[in-house]
């Protein structure tokens, strides 16, 4: 079985427009947060967003639940695959670069201003979310994944915003459970580390996901 055949996916691909919007929303939100005073460009943006919100609300499905399983109604929304790269289509999550080699994965991440907690530093809850994202990405790429059951994060050093940081992940599977250990580093210094546990699921046993409507 090839690596592509092992990759775990569950859901539809995001629309290309969602990728553009996610990137711009993170960037623009950070720029707005950095302003010293109100600016006409922000008011124009807010007006455009209010207009788009009203127009898009008319197109959104009546039922906000995803169309998953045999009894999913047609008035529900399509479920977007959350196996990997969630931040690419959802601006509420960070983006990263990752390389998976069997039981190990590594990559880089830089947290923008919108994820600030203490002055100039990344919010601790965002770091826990980041670990969950990269561990799930790793698990899905090697073909054995499942629902997270626990995340234990240890914060060793403050994590700076806007800096390119390196992360490492190692995983093991035993007795139907996946245990991953991950570290976030600046140079050779460990900033924080996590142990993430998940159930080893069966992709074939997952319910059907409805494709996008014609």
What pTM was estimated for this model as a whole? 0.93
- Judge whether 142 lies within some domain: yes
pLDDT at 171: 97
- Judge whether 80 lies within some domain: yes
Range of the domain at 156: 3-205
- Judge whether 214 lies within some domain: no
- Judge whether 170 lies within some domain: yes
- Judge whether 213 lies within some domain: no
pLDDT at 205: 86
SS3 185: strand
| CATH, residue 125 | 3.10.129.10
- Judge whether 16 lies within some domain: yes
Identify the helix (H) or strand (E) that includes residue 12. Answer: none
- Judge whether 55 lies within some domain: yes
Low-confidence ranges of the chain (pLDDT < 70): 1-5
How many structural domains are present in the chain? 1
91-138: per-residue pLDDT in tens? 999 999 999 999 999 999 999 999 999 999 999 999 999 999 999 999
Instruction: Evaluate the CA torsion angle 10, 11, 17, 18 in order and state its sign.
Output: negative
- Judge whether 131 lies within some domain: yes
């Amino acid at each position: 079985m090839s690596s592509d055949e092992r990759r775990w996916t569950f859901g539809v691909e995001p629309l290309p427009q969602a990728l553009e919007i996610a990137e711009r929303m993170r960037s623009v939100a950070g720029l707005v947060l950095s302003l010293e005073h109100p600016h006409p460009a922000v008011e124009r943006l807010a007006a455009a967003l209010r207009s788009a919100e009203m127009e898009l609300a008319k197109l959104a499905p009546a039922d906000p639940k995803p169309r998953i399983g045999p009894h999913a109604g047609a008035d529900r929304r399509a479920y977007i695959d959350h196996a990997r790269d969630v931040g690419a289509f959802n601006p509420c999550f960070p983006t990263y670069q990752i390389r998976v080699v069997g039981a190990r994965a590594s990559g880089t991440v830089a947290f923008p201003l919108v994820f600030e907690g203490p002055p100039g530093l990344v919010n601790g809850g965002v770091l826990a979310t980041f670990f969950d994202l990269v561990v799930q990405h790793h698990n899905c790429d090697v073909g054995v994944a499942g629902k997270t059951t626990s995340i234990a994060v240890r914060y060793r050093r403050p994590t700076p915003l806007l800096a390119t940081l390196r992360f490492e992940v190692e995983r093991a599977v035993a007795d139907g459970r996946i245990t991953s250990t991950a570290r976030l580093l600046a140079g050779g210094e460990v900033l924080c580390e996590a142990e993430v546990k998940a159930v080893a699921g069966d992709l074939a046993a997952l319910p059907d996901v409805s494709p996008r409507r014609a």
